[in-house]
Amino acid sequence: MSVAVVTGGARGIGAGIAKRLRADGHRVAVLDVDLTGAEGDVLLDCDVASEESVTIAFDKVSSVLGVPSIVVNNAGFARDQPLHEMSLSDWDAVVDVCLRGAFLTTRLAAPAMMAAGFGRIVNISSTSALGDPERVQYVAAKSGLNGFTKAAALELGPFGVTVNAVAPGFTVTNMTVRSAARRGRTLEEHIRITAEESPVRRAGHPEDIAHAVSFFASEGAGYVTGQVLYVAGAPLG
Ligand code: NAI
């Protein structure tokens, strides 16, 4: 039984990933700043942007569940504003959670994975990495995460550690509620319109993203690394 860490795993896509990895037979630690409604084998209050918080949480995971061999860097959010109105604090907040967080967890988890000759890092990117207006910090962070994925894959590959990214398109979560409001639509309208525009004629759900994460986290995916898989109901990338 492997130990998996899912950041931002209390709700939305992260909760879907935590549920799927548990169903796959892994013991799952959920790390989140808000553990309301969270389900996992251990639940830890953790801010992924804080080196101290991540270090304490990983120590706790190792002592309670065992050393993690799977890390899913899912915690993230957007704060949409036009570039010329964006505050430095909003730039930092988004880049710190989406990008710095993935660096901090991967740096902590990698040595034990390298020593064991096995590890799986899965980063949750976004179709926004390809460009999206009024969220330059989020776009920069997610495309940075794609670059981080490829560079880390090159470094960690010789040690049996794969690093991949899953890039969701429109996926119904709390974040979608905010995206709908941004466009002046109700959530129902937003889901309907987005589904109509999608080649597969539907919206994504956390289970769709979790399915791709489950593949990258599996032992059989050892020959797949440095990839960004768009799970978006459309040919992207
Ligand atoms: P959500 O807002 O429903 O859930 C995000 C989770 O991350 C929450 O549980 C929140 O408490 C946690 N979190 C926030 N800041 C944190 C921090 N500093 N440390 C630890 N946990 C923190 O969002 P959703 O939609 O589930 O997003 C999950 C990931 O998927 C994010 O990285 C997001 O950028 C990405 N994504 C989501 C899409 C969507 O359409 N919902 C599309 C593309 C990417």
- Decide: 161 in ligand 1 pocket, CB within 6 A: no
- Decide: 231 in ligand 1 pocket, CB within 6 A: no
- Identify the pLDDT of residue 1: 79
What element of type H or E holds 106? helix 101-116
- Decide: 208 in ligand 1 pocket, CB within 6 A: no
State the pTM of this model: 0.98
- Identify the pLDDT of residue 175: 87
Write out the chain's pLDDT in tens, 237 residues.
799 999 999 999 999 999 999 999 999 999 999 999 999 999 999 999 999 999 999 999 999 999 999 999 999 999 999 999 999 999 999 999 999 999 999 999 999 999 999 999 999 999 999 999 999 999 999 999 999 999 999 999 999 999 999 999 999 998 888 889 888 999 999 999 999 999 999 999 999 999 999 999 999 999 999 999 999 999 998
What angle do the packed helices 206-217 and 12-23 form, to 10 degrees? 50
Distance CA 122, CA 106 (A): 10
- Identify the pLDDT of residue 57: 98
- Identify the pLDDT of residue 182: 83
User: Residue ranges of the domains in the chain?
Assistant: 3-169+206-231, 173-203
> CA nearest 60: which of 98, 31, 18?
31
CATH architecture of 3-169+206-231: 3-Layer(aba) Sandwich (3.40)
Q: Catalytic residue numbers? A: 138
- Identify the pLDDT of residue 237: 83
Distance CA 169, CA 230 (A): 7
What element of type H or E holds 58? helix 51-64
Other C-beta atoms closer than 10 Å to the C-beta of 36 total 7
For residue 78, the ligand 1 atom closest to its alpha carbon is: 34
Distance CA 53, CA 26 (A): 23
Q: Which residues pair with 230 in a beta bridge?
A: 167
In angstroms, what is the span from residue 115 Cα to ligand 1's centroid? 31
User: Are the C-beta atoms of 163 and 123 separated by less than 8 Å?
Assistant: yes
Q: 């061999």: which residue's tokens?
A: 69
What is the SS3 assignment for 206? helix
